[in-house]
Structure 1
Amino acid sequence: MPKRILMDHDGAIDDLLSQLLVLTMPDAELIGVTVTPADCYIEPALESTYKLLQLMGKEEIPLGRGDYYGINAFPSEWRARPEIINALPMLINLPKSPDPYAYPSAPELIIDRLSAAKEKVTVLMTGPCSNLVLALEKAPELKGKIDEIVWMAGAFRTTGNVQTYQHDGSAEWNVFWDPVSSQKLVSYELPLTLIPLDVTNHVPVTKQFLSTLATQIDYKLSNLTGQLWALTLDTIPSYHYTYFMWDILATSYLAMPDYFTTELVKANVSTRPPNAGQTYLDDQGYVVKIATDVNTGYFYDYLLSQFKQ
């Protein structure tokens, strides 16, 4: 029986790569995708999301539009990347996408998909958690339909990646965008697995990986993913950051959990400056599972294999 996956992402390059990766997994059934307007502008991100479904022959999978805007906005230059993605040669001439204003709201779609599910659902989040929290606040009885939440979020024993005014650098962006919803989600004590910077810092997008991927260019997905990853080299100026496989690593957890080292901890989330969005270990906090390490060689080989289709 395939694992039923409900995905919420926020439209950035690594989110869209993650969506493609889910669609290559033989033991996963993607039952819906919602998009949060965090690391994207929502209209082009919905277009990118739909085009990738088209490319994989899965355009019947329903999409939901996030209309909630978080507390701390991502930089606008990061959010504009889907415009470039939609112009890539493999995507630009695909049939026209639906009206981006015609989609149901993201919380509505989450409620619909969970309500209709006959088996428990795994929720994969590669952006902020706001849509899921909004859905569960409206329909708290649906918490029982969730088998596991896998979320790329947090930084526990390492520094964060938020560099902005009135912040001490301790937070990770997906949590920082909406610290209040993040704190609520942790407090629910659902089966929550966080893939934080502690482990994503082990998997940078390297020129060596891109070079190896390029040897597979005759395969459609290797060609497209190689183009997408190449776009990341200037997405975030290298003097500030290295681009890591944040969301892709979290997504790979669905298929290779045994290759991760995880730990049950008690944790909490700060909702106020100067450390808004910081995820921290707290003996009085809430039980979550966090990933601390991964077999990096197996992970890179897994990606090369999955995109050789």
Structure 2
Amino acid sequence: MKKKLWMDHDGAIDDLLSQLLVLTMPDVDLIGLSITPADCFLEPALESAYKLLHLMDRTEVPMGRGESYGVNAFPDAWRARPECVNALPMLINLPSPPDPYQYPSAPDLMIDTLRASDTPVTVLMTGPCSNLTLALERAPDLVEKIDEVIWMAGAFRTQGNVLAFQHNGTAEWNVYWDPVSAQKLLTYGLPLVFVALDATNHVPVHKTFLQQLARQADHRLSNLAGQLWALTIDTIPSYHYTYFMWDMLATSYLALPQAFTTEAIRATISTRPPNAGQTRLDPNGVPATLVTDVDKALFYDYLLQQFRA
């Protein structure tokens, strides 16, 4: 039986690549998709997500519009990336999506779709958790419909990736964007898997991988994935920042759980400066699972295999 999946992402390049990866998974049934206006401007991100559904002949998948704008905004330069994505040669001439404001509210669509499911649903989040938290606040019974939550979020035993005024650098961006919702999410007692910087720091986007991907560019998904990752080239080492396989690693957990090293933890999340959004190990915290490592060769090979589909 296929795993039913709800995906919530925030429109950045790695989120869109993750959506594309999900659509290549034969054992996963994507039953809904929602976009959070965090690391994206909502309208172009909805367009990008729709075009990927169209490319993969999956436009029947319902899409929801995030209605939360978090607490700590991502930089505008990062949020504008979907505009570049929509201009890529493989996407620019695809049909335009509906009016972005005709999409239903993401929390409401999530509630309706999960309630209608006859089996529990896995929730994959590669952006902030605000849509899920809002849905649970409105419909606490939704807990019974969720099999597991896989969330690319957090930094437990490593430095965070937030560099911001009035912050000490301990947080990861998906949690920092809305730390209050993140802490609320813990209170619902859901089976929660953190794919945190502790693990994603092991899998950078490096030029050797991009060269391997380019060698199979006659496959259209490899070609598109290569175009998307090329848009991150200014953040690959030799410049000022490193682009990692943040969301791709979390997404691959759906298909390759045996490749991951995990541990049972108890966690809590700070909601105030100077460490707002910090995910902390706490013996009195909420039980969760933390991904700590991955078989890197297996992971990179899996991506190359899927984008040859």
Q: What TM-score comes out, normalization by structure 1 length?
A: 0.99
Residue 8 of structure 1 contacts residue 127 of structure 1 at CA under 8 Å; is this kept in 2?
Answer: yes
Q: Cα offset for 1:211?
A: 0.1
SS of equivalent to 2:232: helix
List aligned pairs for 1:94-113, cutoff 5 A.
Answer: 94-113=94-113
Match of residue 115 from structure 2: 115
Is 1:246 the counterpart of 2:283? The answer is: no
- State the partner residue of 1:268: 268
Letter in 2 for 1:107: P
Alignment of 1:19-58 (within 5 A): 19-58=19-58
Measured against aligned partners, the alpha-carbon deviations of 1:13-41 in whole angstroms (never above 9, x if no partner) come to 00000000000000000000000000000
Instruction: Name the aligned partner's letter for residue 53 of structure 2.
Output: L
Gaps of 5+ in 1: none
Counterpart of 2:230?
230
- Per the TM alignment, residue 67 of structure 1 is displaced from its structure 2 partner at its CA by 1.5
User: 1:235 Cα shift?
Assistant: 5.5
* Equivalent residue letter for 1:165: F
The letter for the 2-side match of 1:71 is V
> Which residue number in structure 2 is paired with residue 212 of structure 1?
212
Q: Cα distance 1:179–1:259, how it changes in 2: closer, same or farther (>3 A)?
A: same
Shift of 1:237: 8.9
Number of the residue aligned with 2:129: 129
Q: What one-letter code is carried by the residue in structure 1 that aligns with 2:9?
A: H
Whole-Å separation in 1 of the counterparts to 2:153 and 2:207: 25
The answer to whether the 8 A contact 2:235-2:242 is kept is: no
Q: Given residue 167 of structure 1, which amino acid in structure 2 is its aligned partner?
A: H
Match of 2:7 in 1: 7
Instruction: Tell me how far apart the structure 2 counterparts of residues 111 and 67 of structure 1 sit (CA, whole Å).
Output: 14
Return the alpha-carbon distance in structure 2 between the equivalents of residues 236 and 114 of structure 1: 38
Report the residue type matching 2:192 in the other structure.
L
Amino acid at match of 1:13: I
* Mapped partners of 2:140, 2:236: distance in 1: 38
1:278-289 → structure 2 map (5 Å cutoff): 278-289=278-289
| Superposed CA RMSD | 1.0
Q: C-alpha displacement at 1:186, in angstroms?
A: 1.6
Contact 1:78–1:236 (8 Å) recurs in 2: no
Aligned-pair CA distance for 1:238: 6.0
SS of residue in 2 equivalent to 1:101: helix
Aligned to 1:257: 257
The CA distance in 2 between the partners of 1:99 and 1:191, in whole Å, is 35
Maintained 8 Å contact 2:183/2:269: yes
Distance 2:269 2:240 in 1: 25
Amino acid at match of 2:2: P
* One-letter amino acid matched to 1:170: T
Contact 1:78–1:235 (CA under 8 A) maintained in structure 2: no
Tell me what 1:176 maps to. Answer: 176
Q: Deviations over 1:81-140 (max 9, x none)?
A: 000000000000011211101000000111011111000000000000000000000000
In structure 2, the CA distance between the partners of 1:273 and 1:239, relative to structure 1 (3 Å rule), is: farther
Q: Deviation at 1:234?
A: 2.0
Separation in structure 2 between the aligned mates of residue 237 and residue 262 of structure 1, nearest angstrom? 28
CA distance in 2, matches of 1:239, 1:184: 37
1:14–1:245: 8 Å Cα contact kept in structure 2?
yes
Mapped contact 1:154–1:172 kept (Cα < 8 A): yes
Offset, 1:167: 0.3
Partner Cα distance (1:73, 1:144) in 2: 32
Check if 1:194 corresponds to 2:185.
Answer: no
Contact conserved, 2:10 with 2:37, CA < 8 A, in 1? Answer: yes
Whole-angstrom CA distance in 1 between matches of 2:177 and 2:185: 14
How far apart are the structure 2 equivalents of 1:301 and 1:35? 28
Which ranges of structure 2 fall in alignment gaps of 5 or more residues? Answer: none
Contact 1:108 1:135 in 2 (8 A): yes
Rounded to whole Å, the distance in 1 between the matches of 2:47 and 2:11 is 10
Secondary structure at the aligned position of 1:188 is classed as coil
Q: Which amino acid aligns with 1:231?
A: L
Contact 2:205/2:236 (<8 A) preserved: no
| Cα displacement string for residues 51-73 of structure 1 (whole angstroms, at most 9, x for unaligned residues) | 00000000110000002100000
Report if aligned partners of 2:125, 2:151 keep a CA contact under 8 Å in 1: yes
Query: How far does residue 189 in structure 1 lie from its aligned partner after superposition?
Result: 1.9
Q: Does 1:68 align with 2:46?
A: no
